[in-house]
Structure 1
């Protein structure tokens, strides 16, 4: 068995996948049963290789099963007031108005515990020292999983870091701070904290954010600057990865050669330097992977052995996943490994093919091919996690990445020097600041080409196979002089294309997704023929004289990821039930981001900018208005009774659009924030409804027993925010729904709720299975 580490890495991934998806026990046994007889059947398969693969597999099972088990060390304390005591286990980071850090818990209510929580303090002025002992009163809450299509799985992200809960503190002054533990790791964290302060002092905020990102792995850069890096296709330079480790590796070896250190001492010195850098950057898996590969390279040269990059990559993957199994599901791990894998498999073959068919490749062509390989390798993971394919990255990386490397080298020298000699910091930091400005300028320039960014959902298996086959064919892995290779390629491509085309012709069911937009409403309707409609778009209501909080736009956090994850590029129509921010704001944000065919409102809209624009037709609907989608779908407006002029905020709920959606024998009723008045006005003419979107987030002013009795729904969906201050949904409404016999799904507990129907049968699933 050649390169057994490849098979061992694959077996480890299988073990983690089985644990991650909660597979039954008999599936764990299949791999050992399949591998054990191989040495008896194939003479080339050595028993020692099978033993190695099975050993790694068993270790993977032992490491992954506890991580993905249903038990959580803090589940008995969820959302209860408790006294927490622990040690600061990370460098606190300031993000906007908040401070975040990891706390290694030691006690809860004076009882010994073990585990970590992510603490968020609603102040950016607190800055605890790593290793400090803290105690405070708070509540541990369960981290949110993936709550929407295309959404971010925060719970899995924290699990990959070994964090099991989260704590939110409104007042950092309520925390008791005591001297804590000393350890080498916390000492390195302290150095990182000091270097971060040096960067903030001697550089502008934009320069400091960039330098801290590439030097220390600090991701607290300004959101606008982050967005420009993302739109320019170079956001990967902000995450510490193999690129940064490569420059550290080169700098250390250059200094060792300059000092005349013998080669036999290179490996231990490099190991110490890389271990320090791994700790400084917070044990990032991509840094660990790159460091292990560098050490394997130097160690192999020291033993006069040929370095095998593929074995080195698999060895690094095995080490990382045995200690942190959840990393297999992380975007950073997948992007880092797939980029290196593509470079290892395709870079040199493509160089050879280019030189054989065109001419000897120069530096520009070599760099372009390297970028092409990395982009090709990361494409599946990028589409799955971020739903984007950035074409401008092929050019921007050629200029920005080398410049970032130069910036990193200067930062590695000047920032520590400035820390030792602050008086000369202004002089030391001048060249570093200039290079940082150049990087920021180029990034901003390339971000103007954001129209070259393509958005779509994850690749299907057939599309992924076509991509792999095309890459292998381009790199010359298929010898087309052989008849068997020509037959394989000639049959595979048409067959896969036929599968893709055939799937696109299959008539799809009607799909209605009640999105989790917090304390708001939004439902996405996908018709059988590919039409798309959005009923409300969520948003953040501002109450009273309270200052408006800075929040990520709801379109950016929920709506666009959901649309792109479903490969939706255009919306045929949007319905705004009424003019309250928690229903309308997301729609307003979307209008500048994605083409919309028509806007439907229930009263003359208060937003003059929306009414006066002439790009998208705006239509005011009233009772009796009917819209046909052309594929058997119909929207019927049941309320308001007549078209209305613009209304004050306090009058908006009473004219919420009540919209009935019918397809075949199945129907849905969307009620916005309508209350008893609207329900009483239409109840006599109502037909039974299969799915009810409960009115006004389950408030006590809607969803009467009479209304439910007349509708007789089989499913009631409440769109409501977690920990909302209104007491929604009320116990009264929940009891009314239970008495009606309907199944109740809530976006605060179940996340997004998806309903499919072919016009006869009805299927329901929620993103979080919790009742």
Structure 2
């Protein structure tokens, strides 16, 4: 490391940034704008801003424009507020570089509201975007714009059109690999690649350097331009390529390292991979410190560290020979370095991907070249573009089949959960110690063998030679064994999940319910999951939470009733299970026993059976246990028809040692009064019907005497939930009421005697 001072500078810079973050300096997280500016925007959300257009983005549901160098107009003063993404009311033609003034409502980019949920605030902070403007109306715009920036955007749009015409359904994959644009990628396909550990091929990587950058550099040298000429031309092309791809962190790392590589060749200097990586990191972090906590930054740079710093040592330690052996060690090195990062951001790691990448990575260059030729030739002839896309499309078809097969394997991914900081640090210390000890031992063995050869010690007999080979292999196994032991110890530390309490987590999924029950002996139950104002709640809220907690197995999924805001996420989860798009599995679907259920009830049964689950129907009087936890079904009644799904929904009492909890679904006053004689004092109450005025009647609350009550609802719902009358009744009953719309996910924990509440937005 002392021979690479730039690497030390990079590590020191990262350490200083982390310390600043711990000290509360909004350098990496939060909004670096002055507190006075943030307060003003909060009090005056309806504002006017001026800025320069970077690019526009049109989707099925919105049209937005990215502005840079934005100023907030406050009376006659102009206050800089970095960059802003504006969602316009109407679509307008806005070339890059156009100066605009827009009025609308400024809102801070929303932070995640559940454990494991994607952090949009951190993602946009990397682009210096801290505010969105909603319902934007353009008041003024300039006629002048940047011709060159607009040319790059139009070229990108043209390539997009060419790929769409030439590559058909594979066009989004080519576009992700060539342009870094993933907005049109099919979500199911992306999940398949992620399950198989192949999602990295959908991003711009070091492969682009070797194929696009170094390929062009070598070609220009062959035609006689020399190092200087070829270097300058290829540098210019790659810089423009970086601008064309939108400046993603992986693209900018690739471009930075290519610039340093070619610059070293032109100047006659030696290119050092780790020094180039450190310089690239310094440039990116100085431009945007928020990158330090970005998954894209950490995974992109971590992969190169694995290949450049860890892999050579492991190859020497293991004595790996041949391309296949070295490729396997390289794949393991990348996985070892990025393992904690993957768990922190995704909660899971693809196990099968270590092997699949051995066969996939050597062919990715073919897909890239095919897509590149398709893009270039397609500009002149669509038929020529289609022909060029054929090899790449065949490979992509094979990739998809491999991903589909891998996703159905029970050992495809390991859901390890979100590690604590101390666990990640301990893992890296153990890994580094293992590598150092194994390397020292391997070096000692190699030196001893060289000394033996130097003094002329030879083995003459064939049997002795054979024994010598086995003896040498055994000696090589010792260093490898030390490394494997250290790595296994590190993984063990990462996978440890402290805590022996029962945990009830009410997720914030907008206007709906989603409750996860974790029982100390390892049992997990899910009670409802759905939303009437959010889509894909399983993908974006439920599964990230389960993965962050290291949950891969659900004992049972309970459905209180069949309204959309209680089952939409469940249906999505069951579809994922059936299609092999998640490693989370469940034993049973538990439904209220209705004589004349609605059609969606039968759909749920079909989905559960297709996912390999049992279907259980329960009614009042049924009960079952999981370890020390007991579940008692209080409703529906035995003769329930299922016509009024709210009033005939499932009501469940949970018993754990001295703790009692009650889950009422959307039960209203009639259902509450019908079970009064079976109710006991409870510690926890999931408030019925999202705090509706027609639920949680006085008689019911007086009977259950809940200490903590949780209302799950959205702050933008149109139903008036929670009702002021209901919250007042809860207060008078002595219950401490929690709201997901205020606190994000709310977790109620108990050891069977004490009870405490954890609010995600306060953590």
Fold equivalence (TM over 0.5): yes
Note if contact 2:352-2:413 (Cα within 8 Å) is conserved in structure 1. Answer: no
Task: Name the CA distance, whole Å, in 2 between partners of 1:62 and 1:263.
Answer: 44
Report the alpha carbon displacement of residue 253 of structure 1 after superposing the two structures with TM: 0.9
Counterpart for residue 459 of structure 2: none
1:3 pairs with 2:4? yes
Of 189, 192, 213 in structure 2, the residue corresponding to residue 249 of structure 1 is 213
Of 195, 200, 210 in structure 1, the residue corresponding to residue 173 of structure 2 is 210
Report the alpha carbon displacement of residue 351 of structure 1 after superposing the two structures with TM: 4.3
Note if contact 2:507-2:744 (Cα within 8 Å) is conserved in structure 1. Answer: yes
Of 210, 224, 235 in structure 1, the residue corresponding to residue 199 of structure 2 is 235
Task: Name the CA distance, whole Å, in 2 between partners of 1:596 and 1:347.
Answer: 38
Counterpart for residue 464 of structure 2: none
Task: Name the CA distance, whole Å, in 2 between partners of 1:552 and 1:737.
Answer: 31
Note if contact 1:752-1:766 (Cα within 8 Å) is conserved in structure 2. Answer: yes
CA deviation digits over 1:99-138, x for unaligned, max 9? 4442344445876343333334689x76643233555554
Q: What SS does the corresponding residue of 2:175 show, helix, strand or coil?
A: helix
Q: How many residues align?
A: 707
Of 595, 600, 605 in structure 1, the residue corresponding to residue 585 of structure 2 is 595
Task: Name the CA distance, whole Å, in 2 between partners of 1:728 and 1:281.
Answer: 44
Task: Name the CA distance, whole Å, in 1 between partners of 2:508 and 2:375.
Answer: 44
CA deviation digits over 1:480-507, x for unaligned, max 9? 6599x99999799589859949996977
Q: Could you tell me the TM-score, scaled by structure 2's length?
A: 0.82
Of 531, 537, 545 in structure 1, the residue corresponding to residue 529 of structure 2 is 537
Of 620, 631, 637 in structure 2, the residue corresponding to residue 635 of structure 1 is 631
1:384 pairs with 2:344? yes
1:517 pairs with 2:509? yes
Where in structure 2 are the equivalents of 1:363-442 lying within 5 Å?
364-409=324-369, 411-412=371-372, 415=375, 419=379, 424-442=380-398
Where in structure 2 are the equivalents of 1:28-39 lying within 5 Å?
none
Task: Name the CA distance, whole Å, in 2 between partners of 1:476 and 1:416.
Answer: 51
Counterpart for residue 458 of structure 2: none
Report the CA distance shift for 1:193/1:287 in structure 2 as closer, same or farther (over 3 A). closer
CA deviation digits over 1:9-64, x for unaligned, max 9? 2222223223434x26xxxxxxxxxxxxxxxxxxxxxxxxxxxxxxxxxxxx7955
**Segment drifting more, 735-744 vs 532-541:** 735-744
Report the alpha carbon displacement of residue 395 of structure 1 after superposing the two structures with TM: 4.8
Counterpart for residue 299 of structure 1: 263
Q: What SS does the corresponding residue of 1:518 show, helix, strand or coil?
A: coil
Counterpart for residue 747 of structure 2: 754
Counterpart for residue 455 of structure 2: none
Task: Name the CA distance, whole Å, in 1 between partners of 2:226 and 2:305.
Answer: 32
1:671 pairs with 2:691? no
Note if contact 2:99-2:145 (Cα within 8 Å) is conserved in structure 1. Answer: no
CA deviation digits over 1:80-113, x for unaligned, max 9? 7735444464433344444444234444587634
Note if contact 2:373-2:385 (Cα within 8 Å) is conserved in structure 1. Answer: no
Report the CA distance shift for 1:573/1:553 in structure 2 as closer, same or farther (over 3 A). same
Q: What SS does the corresponding residue of 2:184 show, helix, strand or coil?
A: coil
1:572 pairs with 2:536? no
1:199 pairs with 2:162? yes
Task: Name the CA distance, whole Å, in 1 between partners of 2:588 and 2:113.
Answer: 28
Of 245, 256, 273 in structure 1, the residue corresponding to residue 237 of structure 2 is 273
Of 99, 116, 125 in structure 2, the residue corresponding to residue 159 of structure 1 is 125
CA deviation digits over 1:667-697, x for unaligned, max 9? 2222211122233344566443322212111
Report the CA distance shift for 1:268/1:381 in structure 2 as closer, same or farther (over 3 A). same
Report the alpha carbon displacement of residue 730 of structure 1 after superposing the two structures with TM: 2.6
Of 330, 342, 346 in structure 1, the residue corresponding to residue 310 of structure 2 is 346
Counterpart for residue 451 of structure 1: 408
Q: What SS does the corresponding residue of 1:653 show, helix, strand or coil?
A: coil
CA deviation digits over 1:225-261, x for unaligned, max 9? 4344334432212222332233332133124313422
Q: What SS does the corresponding residue of 1:597 show, helix, strand or coil?
A: strand
Counterpart for residue 621 of structure 1: 618
Q: What is the root-mean-square deviation in Å for CA atoms of aligned residues?
A: 3.9
Report the alpha carbon displacement of residue 417 of structure 1 after superposing the two structures with TM: 6.3
Of 536, 545, 555 in structure 2, the residue corresponding to residue 553 of structure 1 is 536
Note if contact 1:185-1:279 (Cα within 8 Å) is conserved in structure 2. Answer: no
Of 734, 737, 760 in structure 2, the residue corresponding to residue 744 of structure 1 is 737
Note if contact 2:589-2:614 (Cα within 8 Å) is conserved in structure 1. Answer: yes
Report the alpha carbon displacement of residue 739 of structure 1 after superposing the two structures with TM: 4.5
Task: Name the CA distance, whole Å, in 1 between partners of 2:238 and 2:181.
Answer: 18
Report the CA distance shift for 1:404/1:322 in structure 2 as closer, same or farther (over 3 A). same
Where in structure 2 are the equivalents of 1:9-408 lying within 5 Å?
9-21=10-22, 23=23, 64=28, 67=31, 71=35, 73=37, 76-78=40-42, 82=46, 84-87=48-51, 89-104=53-68, 105-107=70-72, 112-113=78-79, 114-120=81-87, 128-134=94-100, 138-169=104-135, 178-179=141-142, 182-183=145-146, 186-187=149-150, 189-199=152-162, 202-223=165-186, 224-352=188-316, 357=319, 359=321, 361-362=322-323, 364-408=324-368
Note if contact 2:698-2:729 (Cα within 8 Å) is conserved in structure 1. Answer: yes
Note if contact 1:367-1:398 (Cα within 8 Å) is conserved in structure 2. Answer: yes
Note if contact 2:516-2:524 (Cα within 8 Å) is conserved in structure 1. Answer: yes
Task: Name the CA distance, whole Å, in 1 between partners of 2:332 and 2:74.
Answer: 55
Q: What SS does the corresponding residue of 1:568 show, helix, strand or coil?
A: coil
Report the CA distance shift for 1:397/1:91 in structure 2 as closer, same or farther (over 3 A). farther
Task: Name the CA distance, whole Å, in 2 between partners of 1:181 and 1:68.
Answer: 31
Q: What SS does the corresponding residue of 1:195 show, helix, strand or coil?
A: helix
Note if contact 1:15-1:64 (Cα within 8 Å) is conserved in structure 2. Answer: no
Report the CA distance shift for 1:444/1:17 in structure 2 as closer, same or farther (over 3 A). same
Task: Name the CA distance, whole Å, in 1 between partners of 2:43 and 2:552.
Answer: 40
Note if contact 2:713-2:722 (Cα within 8 Å) is conserved in structure 1. Answer: yes
Task: Name the CA distance, whole Å, in 2 between partners of 1:445 and 1:571.
Answer: 28
Report the CA distance shift for 1:731/1:110 in structure 2 as closer, same or farther (over 3 A). farther
Task: Name the CA distance, whole Å, in 1 between partners of 2:620 and 2:56.
Answer: 56
CA deviation digits over 1:142-175, x for unaligned, max 9? 3222222321111111112211122444xx9x65
Task: Name the CA distance, whole Å, in 2 between partners of 1:387 and 1:503.
Answer: 11
Task: Name the CA distance, whole Å, in 1 between partners of 2:162 and 2:74.
Answer: 39
Q: What SS does the corresponding residue of 1:538 show, helix, strand or coil?
A: strand
Q: What SS does the corresponding residue of 2:710 show, helix, strand or coil?
A: strand
Report the alpha carbon displacement of residue 315 of structure 1 after superposing the two structures with TM: 1.6
Report the alpha carbon displacement of residue 321 of structure 1 after superposing the two structures with TM: 0.9
Of 640, 644, 652 in structure 2, the residue corresponding to residue 659 of structure 1 is 652
Counterpart for residue 39 of structure 1: none
Q: Could you tell me the TM-score, scaled by structure 1's length?
A: 0.81
Note if contact 2:710-2:739 (Cα within 8 Å) is conserved in structure 1. Answer: yes
Note if contact 1:688-1:711 (Cα within 8 Å) is conserved in structure 2. Answer: yes
Note if contact 1:387-1:564 (Cα within 8 Å) is conserved in structure 2. Answer: yes
Report the CA distance shift for 1:501/1:729 in structure 2 as closer, same or farther (over 3 A). same
The answer for unaligned runs of 5 or more in structure 1 is 25-60, 542-550
Task: Name the CA distance, whole Å, in 2 between partners of 1:725 and 1:508.
Answer: 40
Report the alpha carbon displacement of residue 385 of structure 1 after superposing the two structures with TM: 1.8
**Segment drifting more, 204-213 vs 570-579:** 204-213
Report the alpha carbon displacement of residue 283 of structure 1 after superposing the two structures with TM: 1.8
Note if contact 1:638-1:658 (Cα within 8 Å) is conserved in structure 2. Answer: yes
